[in-house]
Amino acid sequence: MKNNYSILTGITPSGSGEVHIGNYLGAVVPFLELQKNADKIYFFIADLHALTTVQNKLELQRNVENLVLSYLAFGIDTKKVVFYRQSDITEHTELQSILNNVTPLALIKRAHAYKDKLQKGTDPEDINMGLFSYPILMAADILLYGPDYVPVGDDQKQHIEIARDVAGFFNKTYGETFVLPDIYNIKESARLVGTEGKRKMSKSLNNYIAVFADEKIIRKQIMSCYTDPNRKKVTDPGSVEGNPVFTYHRLLNDNKDEVADLEKRYTTGTVSDMEVKEKLIFAILTKFKKERALYNELKSNPEKIKDILREGAEKARVQAAKKMMEVRERIGITNKYSEFHY
């Protein structure tokens, strides 16, 4: 890890727009860790990326606002972090349009987001271009700001690799212009399992535990968690491996003695699933107590949120505009008058 480094990451306001414990462990924790020592930080709400799936105005706005509130509540330091909406900076789409021309089709055809849709049986003719070119917009998001590290979960790794490839193609064609970003990834919690115990926790799969929802909702989400299906009675010894309730306890319950005790009692058949879940509800609400209070406080102050986003956009625009000038120069789209000296 370098000494003076810059970082950048984004989050898509898709699905229900709610932040869950998977996002927290996979994206927020590494971000807060890096925030401590980084020199420069860019963090944005990828609302243009959300358009691939969210095509309802009110839903998009609600999701964006929810994310802004959530991340501010997690402790994003807006004095240090440039916090903005992707769509406020028009250079992102401008650069995407330019990068399209140095990106081989074959590279994009290998991208997960596109391949997943195909695997689910979607006719390739029906996939929208936004989804297809998703990684190129992501490359533009990153390359405009030249960060050293991009903190993302496992599911986004391939996109960062594509961004590196695209930067490489551009540099090869036009000369060194873009810094190739490195991934910053926390191994153990990079892919938190969902409450059904099978797929990764995701807003769009509705298998998540929300951080900022009402207590009643969080209770319901935890109570409906998959546990050990072979355990019929409390006295049956249960398995903690592959049991999502224990995965969450290990990662989020700060009372480590309690976790060890619950694990022991579970494997010896002396604790109920109910009690394990009750303790998880308590642990999660305790862990996020401060954040949940701040979320509600900010929610009652929309003007403050608008100011924060306006300031963020102003700062981001300075860097984005500077980089775009350089790109325009490189490729031959400049505002300077040509004197026909080729």
Q: Which is nearer to ligand ADP, 204 or 270 (CB)?
A: 204
d(CA 306, CA 107): 38
Burial 140-178, CB ≥16 within 10 A → b, else e: bbbbbbbbbbbbbbeebebbbbbbbbbbebbbeebeebb
β-bridge pairing 40-45 and 149-151 = unpaired
CB of 32 to ligand ADP, least distance (A): 13
Q: Write the DSSP string, 251-294.
A: HH-S-HHHHHHHHHHHHTT-S-HHHHHHHHHHHHHHHTHHHHHH
Give the total residue count for the chain: 342
Which of 40, 157, 200, 299 is catalytic? The answer is 200
Q: Which residues bind ligand TRP (CB under 6 A)?
A: 8-12, 46, 49, 138, 141-142, 150, 152, 156
In the list ligand TRP, ligand ADP, none, the entry touching 142 (Cβ below 5 to 8 angstroms by class) is: ligand TRP
Contact 299, 70 (CB under 8 A): no
Count the neighbouring beta carbons within 10 Å of the beta carbon of residue 292: 18
Q: Which is nearer to ligand TRP, 5 or 226 (CB)?
A: 5
Enter the tokens of residue 341.
Answer: 């000296």
Instruction: State the residue number with the nearest CB to ligand ADP.
Output: 26
Sign of CA dihedral 310, 311, 317, 320: negative
Q: Is 220 an annotated catalytic residue?
A: no
Which of 40, 117, 299, 315 is catalytic? The answer is 117
In the list ligand ADP, ligand TRP, none, the entry touching 195 (Cβ below 5 to 8 angstroms by class) is: none
CB of 275 to ligand TRP, least distance (A): 35
In the list ligand TRP, ligand ADP, none, the entry touching 38 (Cβ below 5 to 8 angstroms by class) is: none
Q: Which is nearer to ligand TRP, 9 or 70 (CB)?
A: 9
d(CA 274, CA 277): 5
User: How is residue 193 annotated by DSSP?
Assistant: B
Q: Which is nearer to ligand ADP, 86 or 156 (CB)?
A: 156
d(CA 190, CA 177): 31
Q: Is 40 an annotated catalytic residue?
A: no
Encoded amino acid at 250, one letter? R
CB of 151 to ligand ADP, least distance (A): 7
Q: Write the DSSP string, 38-107.
A: -SEEEEEE-HHHHTTT---HHHHHHHHHHHHHHHHHTT--TTTEEEEEGGG-THHHHHHHHHGGGS-HHH
CB of 88 to ligand TRP, least distance (A): 14
In the list ligand ADP, ligand TRP, none, the entry touching 200 (Cβ below 5 to 8 angstroms by class) is: ligand ADP
- What are the two backbone dihedrals, phi and then psi, of residue 266, each rounded to the nearest 5 degrees? -70, -45
In the list ligand ADP, ligand TRP, none, the entry touching 272 (Cβ below 5 to 8 angstroms by class) is: none
Q: Which residues bind ligand ADP (CB under 6 A)?
A: 11-12, 14-15, 22-23, 25-27, 152-153, 155-156, 190-192, 200-204
CB of 17 to ligand ADP, least distance (A): 9
CB of 27 to ligand ADP, least distance (A): 4
In the list ligand ADP, ligand TRP, none, the entry touching 204 (Cβ below 5 to 8 angstroms by class) is: ligand ADP
Instruction: State the residue number with the nearest CB to ligand TRP.
Output: 10
Q: Is 117 an annotated catalytic residue?
A: yes
Enter the tokens of residue 111.
Answer: 């991208």
Q: Which is nearer to ligand TRP, 12 or 243 (CB)?
A: 12
Enter the tokens of residue 318.
Answer: 């300075």
Q: Which is nearer to ligand ADP, 6 or 9 (CB)?
A: 9
d(CA 65, CA 71): 10
Active-site annotation, residues:
117, 200, 203
